[in-house]
């Protein structure tokens, strides 16, 4: 121990202290501070850049999700529109059919009615024709009958007989 | 990255080659083995001491004269007034230097005042000099190295900081290599030990101390043969700063855990208080000793094994020593970084203890 401190030199201690402290302060001002500052700002920059990249990635994912959603919605809408169109079409066809049926039924009814009236008219005409014919025939027959006296009496008699009976 | 890795083995090789060339000088001189052993021992001891001149290497000429290659450094003394003179006046500790009417002489790496131009160091029974010691603020070899590391670190890291500005917050060149280490200190040392919220204000100290200790330790492994962290003054200074930061950033909980430990009976509280208080001093003390002892031990062992090469003086022993020195050199490179890491982690741990909120208790 004695030898250890026997070697102690105050001068060397003094110079070491002066030079070392000066070195610490000089290096702090001209080296350590700028170096550590640049390193930490660089590290900060890298961290920020990584974060920004991460955010961008997330945003992209969100966008993609949005797109997916929009696409889905569009698809659903298209589906709905198509369905509606189909429904409208079906309804139109249905309506058209119904209308056509109605029109046909109406026409038929009209036709039937016309036929009925025509038939009635024809029948009544036929009836009158038949009556006329019958009268003509009866006239001719009567004319024939009346040409003969005997026959005329006979007829009157029969007719009278009939009328009395009634 | 690859440049840095390549740099280390080259340093190590240079280290070994330098010592080998030292050996050659000694061999040519052809000294007896006992002397060689003593010389190596002395050399190691000399290496572990601080010195007043910046010696790159020394050798002994054929005539037995010691030659030193290097340059002198200023000696600054406070002895009834400031005295500044060149360390060349000492002639590598061999002569007495005169400055402002006073005379000084070196003894075991320290400067003592002597009476006159021929004055001598008077030793007591324990071989301690009894002469007066002036206050010594000399720019020694270690101070020069600390200043060099200061300059290198300032250059490196201010350039790195500038490269961030130029490149929109991206490092360039050296910064590419240094940034992971800076981030390692932040993410693995500061944040886990201090906490996400409070680590920021300690980062300057932790980063500086980590790189300072590491670079200084690496310099200790270069052939220039400098070793800053095996001076107790240096490690004491660093540990003291850690201690002061810890003490001044200690919050209410920290002091409460020292003086009035919650959750234990009152008698235990009274016993624990002095122990805990002592603990606050022991922690930085251990920091100081750990760094000092690891680096000193590493240097002594490495240099001893290198020295063994010349003592064995045969192809088997010397090459084995060389191999051992090589492996140990690599280990020392690891130790250099490891000690810097340990010092920083423990400092961060103490800061963390000082600022911890005990909400979860």
Q: HEC states along B16-84? A: HHHHHHHHHHHHHHCCCHHHHHHHHHHHHHHHHCCCCEEEEEEEECCCCCEEEEEEECEEEEECCCEEE
What tokens appear for B183 in the block? Answer: 């981030």
Interface A–B counts its CB contacts (< 8 A) at 127
Could you tell me which residues come within 8 angstroms of residue B165 by beta carbon, excluding any fewer than 6 positions away? A34, A38
Q: What tens digit of pLDDT does each residue of B7-65 get?
A: 454 554 445 444 444 444 444 444 455 677 787 787 777 777 777 777 777 677 777 67
Q: What tens digit of pLDDT does each residue of B70-102 get?
A: 778 888 887 777 778 877 777 776 777 777 777
SS3 B261: coil
User: Residue A27's closest chain B neighbor by CA?
Assistant: B154
Bigger pLDDT: B22 or B318? B318
Q: How many CA atoms lie within 13 A of A20 on its CB side?
A: 30
Q: Domain containing A27: what range?
A: 11-165
Local confidence band at B153 (pLDDT 50, 70, 90 cut-offs) = very high
pTM over 0.90: no
Asked if residues B19 and B58 have their Cβ atoms less than 8 Å apart, the reply is no
The dihedrals phi and psi of B55, each to the nearest 5 degrees, come to -85, 130
CA-based nearest distance B141→chain A, Å: 10
Asked if residues B232 and A4 have their Cβ atoms less than 8 Å apart, the reply is yes
Q: Residue A62 pLDDT > 60, yes or no?
A: yes
* Residue A38 belongs to a domain: yes
Asked if residues B131 and B103 have their Cβ atoms less than 8 Å apart, the reply is no
Asked if residues B141 and B51 have their Cβ atoms less than 8 Å apart, the reply is yes
Per CB-CB distance under 8 Å, the chain A contacts of B200 are 36
DSSP B89: G
Q: What tens digit of pLDDT does each residue of B242-264 get?
A: 999 999 988 888 888 888 878 88
Per CB-CB distance under 8 Å, the chain B contacts of A38 are 161, 164-165, 169
**What are the C-alpha distances in Å from B211 to residues B18, B219, B339, B344?**
26, 12, 11, 9
* Residue A4 belongs to a domain: no
Number of domains in chain A: 1
Q: Residue B301 pLDDT > 50, yes or no?
A: yes
What tokens appear for B229 in the block? Answer: 């962290």
Distance CA B210, CA A75 (A): 69
Bigger pLDDT: B119 or A81? A81
Distance CA A61, CA A47 (A): 21
pLDDT reported for residue A55: 95
CA-based nearest distance B246→chain A, Å: 16
Could you tell me which residues come within 8 angstroms of residue B56 by beta carbon, excluding any fewer than 6 positions away? B69, B70, B224
Distance of CA B30 to the CA centre of its chain: 34
Average pLDDT value for chain B: 80
Per CB-CB distance under 8 Å, the chain A contacts of B189 are none
Asked if residues B340 and B218 have their Cβ atoms less than 8 Å apart, the reply is no
CA-based nearest distance A34→chain B, Å: 6
Asked if residues B304 and B44 have their Cβ atoms less than 8 Å apart, the reply is yes
What tokens appear for B144 in the block? Answer: 């020069």
Q: What tens digit of pLDDT does each residue of B211-232 get?
A: 999 999 998 888 776 778 888 8
ipTM of this model?
0.79
Query: Cβ B136–A11 below 8 Å, yes or no?
Result: yes
Distance CA B192, CA A134 (A): 143
**What are the C-alpha distances in Å from A31 to residues A34, B21, B98, B157, B205?**
6, 41, 44, 5, 12
Per CB-CB distance under 8 Å, the chain A contacts of B177 are none
Domain boundaries, chain B: 74-138, 142-355
DSSP B110: E
Query: Cβ B205–A24 below 8 Å, yes or no?
Result: yes
* Residue A5 belongs to a domain: no
A105 to chain B, any CB pair closer than 8 A? The answer is no
Asked if residues B202 and B348 have their Cβ atoms less than 8 Å apart, the reply is yes
Q: Residue B349 pLDDT > 60, yes or no?
A: yes
Best mean pLDDT range from B129-143, B231-245, B259-273: B231-245
DSSP for B301-336? HHHHHHHHHHHH-SHHHHHHHHHHHHHHHHHHHHHH
**What are the C-alpha distances in Å from B36 to residues B23, B42, B309?**
10, 10, 11
**What are the C-alpha distances in Å from B286 to residues A23, B203, B254, B333?**
24, 22, 20, 22
Asked if residues B291 and B235 have their Cβ atoms less than 8 Å apart, the reply is yes
Strand-pair partners of B70: B55
Distance CA A143, CA A133 (A): 15
Distance CA B340, CA B93 (A): 34
Most A-contacting residue of B129, B151, B157, B184 (CB-CB within 10 A), to test interface:
B157
Strand-pair partners of B102: B99
């Amino acid at each position: 121990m004695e030898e250890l401190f026997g070697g102690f030199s105050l001068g060397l201690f003094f110079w070491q202290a002066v030079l070392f402290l000066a070195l610490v302060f000089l290096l702090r001002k001209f080296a350590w501070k700028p170096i550590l500052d640049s390193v930490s700002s660089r590290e900060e920059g890298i961290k920020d850049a990584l974060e920004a990249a991460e955010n961008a990635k997330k945003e992209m994912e969100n966008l993609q999700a949005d797109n997916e959603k929009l696409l889905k919605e569009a698809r659903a809408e298209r589906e709905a529109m198509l369905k509606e169109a189909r429904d409208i079409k079906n309804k139109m066809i249905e309506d058209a059919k119904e209308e056509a049926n109605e029109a046909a039924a109406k026409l038929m009814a009209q036709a039937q009615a016309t036929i009925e009236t025509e038939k009635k008219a024809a029948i009544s005409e036929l009836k009158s024709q038949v009556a006329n014919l019958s009268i003509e025939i009866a006239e001719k027959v009567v004319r024939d009958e009346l040409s003969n006296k005997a026959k005329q009496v006979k007829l009157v008699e029969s007719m009278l007989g009939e009328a009395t009976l009634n | 990255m690859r440049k840095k890795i390549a740099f280390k083995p080259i340093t190590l090789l240079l280290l070994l080659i330098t010592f080998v060339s030292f050996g050659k000088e000694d061999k040519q001189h052809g000294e007896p083995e006992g002397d060689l052993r003593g010389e190596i021992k002395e050399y190691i001891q000399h290496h572990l001491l601080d010195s007043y001149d910046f010696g790159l290497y020394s050798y002994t000429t054929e005539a037995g004269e010691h030659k030193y290659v290097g340059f002198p450094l200023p000696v600054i003394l406070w002895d009834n007034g400031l005295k500044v003179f060149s360390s060349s006046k000492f002639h590598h500790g061999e002569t007495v230097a005169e400055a402002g009417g006073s005379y000084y002489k070196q003894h075991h790496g320290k400067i003592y005042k002597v009476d006159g131009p021929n004055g001598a160091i008077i030793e007591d029974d324990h071989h301690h000099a009894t002469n007066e010691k002036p206050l010594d603020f000399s720019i020694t070899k270690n101070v020069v190295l600390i200043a060099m590391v200061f300059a290198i670190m300032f250059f490196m890291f201010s350039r790195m900081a500038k490269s961030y500005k130029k490149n929109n917050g991206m490092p360039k060149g050296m910064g590419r290599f240094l940034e992971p280490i800076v981030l390692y200190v932040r993410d693995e040392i500061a944040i886990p030990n201090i906490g996400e919220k409070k680590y920021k204000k300690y980062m300057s100290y932790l980063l500086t101390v980590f790189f300072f200790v590491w670079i200084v330790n690496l310099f200790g492994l270069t052939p220039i043969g400098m070793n800053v962290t095996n001076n107790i003054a240096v490690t004491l200074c660093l540990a003291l700063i850690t201690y002061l930061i810890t003490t001044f950033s200690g919050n209410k909980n920290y002091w409460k855990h020292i003086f009035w430990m919650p959750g234990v009976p009152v008698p235990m509280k009274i016993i624990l208080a002095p122990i805990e208080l002592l603990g606050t001093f022991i922690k930085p003390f251990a920091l100081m000793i750990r760094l000092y002892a690891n680096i000193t031990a590493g240097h002594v062992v490495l240099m001893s094994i290198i020295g063994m090469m010349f003592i064995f003086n045969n192809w088997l022993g010397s090459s084995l020593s060389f191999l051992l020195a090589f492996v140990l050199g690599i280990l020392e490179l690891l130790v250099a970084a490891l000690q810097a890491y340990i010092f920083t982690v423990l400092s961060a741990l103490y800061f963390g203890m000082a600022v911890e909120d005990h909400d979860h208790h």
